[in-house]
Structure 1
Amino acid sequence: MPKVGVQEERRRQLIEATLEVVGELGLQSATIGAISRTAGMSSGLISHYFGGKQALIEATLRQLLEELKIALLAHTKAASLTPQQRLVAIVEANFSDFQRSTATTGTWLSFWARAIHEPGLARLQHINNRRLYSNLCYSFRQLLPAEVARDAAKQTSALIDGFWLRSALWPDQEQGFRESEALCKAFINDTLKQHGVEPCH
Structure 2
Amino acid sequence: MKNDAATAARPAEGERRGRKASKETRRLQLIEATIDSLARRGYSETTMADVADGAGLSRGIVNFHFESKEKLLVATLQHMAEEYSAHWRGALGKAGPEPAARLAALVGADFDRAICNRRKLTAWCAFWGEARSRPTYQALCGASDEAYHEALTALCAEMIEAGGYALDARQTAIAIEATLEGLWLRLMLRGGDITREKAHDAAKTMLTAFFPRHFARKAG
* Fold shared, TM-score > 0.5 on shorter chain: yes
2:170 maps to a residue whose letter is R
Q: How does 1:34-183 map to 2 (within 5 A)?
A: 34-78=50-94, 80-144=96-160, 148-172=168-192, 175-183=194-202
**Does 1:192 pair with 2:208?**
no
Unmatched segments (≥5 aa) in structure 2:
1-14
2:192 is matched by which residue type in structure 1? D
- Check conservation: 1:13, 1:39, Cα contact below 8 A: yes
RMSD value over aligned CA atoms?
2.1
Structure 1 runs of 4+ aligned residues shifted over 4 Å read none
How many matched pairs? 197
Question: What amino acid maps onto 1:39 in structure 2?
Answer: A
* Counterpart-to-counterpart distance in 2, 1:42 and 1:172: 37
CA deviation vs aligned residue, 1:77-131 (integer Å, no higher than 9, x gap)? 2363411111111111111102222321221111111112222112222223223
Could you tell me how far apart the structure 2 residues matched to 1:176 and 1:102 are? 11
Contact 1:166 1:176 in 2 (8 A): no
Segment drifting more, 63-72 vs 29-38? 63-72
Distance in 1 (CA, whole Å) between partners of 2:191 and 2:27 is 33
Shift of 1:147: 7.0
Aligned-residue offset at 1:143: 2.1
Q: For 2:168 and 2:46, how far apart are their aligned partners in 1?
A: 43
1:137 is displaced (CA, Å) by 0.9
- Higher Cα Rg, which structure: 2
CA contact (8 A) 2:179 2:203 kept: yes
Q: Do 1:68 and 1:93's aligned partners in 2 also have CA atoms closer than 8 Å? A: no
Normalising by structure 1, what TM-score? 0.88
**Unpaired runs of at least 5, structure 1:** none
Cα pair 2:118 2:187 within 8 Å, conserved: no
Q: Which has the higher helix share?
A: 2
Per-residue deviation, residues 37-65 of structure 1 (Å, max 9, x unmatched): 11122222223212311111111112212
Distance 1:7 1:28 in 2: 27
The alignment-based identity, stated in percent, is 25
Relative to the length of structure 2, the TM-score reads: 0.81
CA contact (8 A) 2:95 2:102 kept: no
